[in-house]
Structure formats: C-alpha cells, structure tokens
Amino acid sequence: MIISKWLTSAKHALRGLRCLFINERNARIHLFLACLTLGIGYFLHLSITEWCLVILCISFVIALEAVNSAIERAVDLVTPDWHPLAKDAKDLAAAGVLLISLGAAVVGAIIFIPKLITLFTLG
C-alpha cells in the first residue's frame, strides 16, 4: 500500500519533469547548462565536496524553475486577463529563479575558475 502510493507520487513527479522540460524553454536551457557543468566537473576531477555543491546548485535551480512554472500556470488559471497582482506573482517567482541562478553561477565560478586557471597555466 505505501509502496503503491509512493510509486503513484513518483509517476506524477516524473510527468511534471517531462512537462517542465517539454514546455519550458528556460528549463531546457538550465538542463543544458547543468549537463555542460557536469561534464566539465568530470573533466576537472571535482572533489566530493565540490560535486555536492554543484549538484545542490543544479537541483535548486531546476527545482525553482519548476516552482516558477507552476506559479505561472496557477496564476494563468485563476486570471487569464492581465492583472497587476498576477504580474507581481509571476515576476516574484521569476526573481527567485534569477537569484538562485546567480548564486549557482557564483558557486560555479568559485569552484571552476581556479581549476581552469591551473589547467591552462600548467597545460
């Protein structure tokens, strides 16, 4: 019974991921950048701690992109017409994605730039 409920929940979550990446251009951009980051991380032999930080940042960005998309859809469902509060809700959700993305970029810079400098100066 518990496993059945968990499998049903997982099925819905996977459908949500499919919906996210099929319908949301920004989510596909984030996914592309995530794959690129993971590939570069593999090439640069990140430490366990660095991998944890990179994976957490990627997870946060994509998760918040999903929340942003959900908020946009919910707002559109409630009021398909333009409304200043609807605009604020959408803009605030987008701001959250922007902030977490900038934070992830800073973490990435802290991790990757010294390794790339070392690679190219010793190369």
- Report which residue type is found at 53: L
Catalytic residue among 24, 50, 65, 72: 65
Instruction: Evaluate whether 93 touches 73 at the Cβ level (below 8 Å).
Output: no
Structure token digits, residue 58: 């990627």
CA–CA gap between residue 113 and residue 52 (Å, rounded): 17
104: CB partners within 8 A, 6+ apart = 57, 58, 60, 61
Known catalytic residue at 72:
no
How many CA atoms are closer than 13 Å to the CA of 15, on its beta-carbon side? 6
Distances, alpha carbon 56 to alpha carbons 6, 7, 63, in Å: 23, 24, 10
Q: Which residues are catalytic?
A: 65
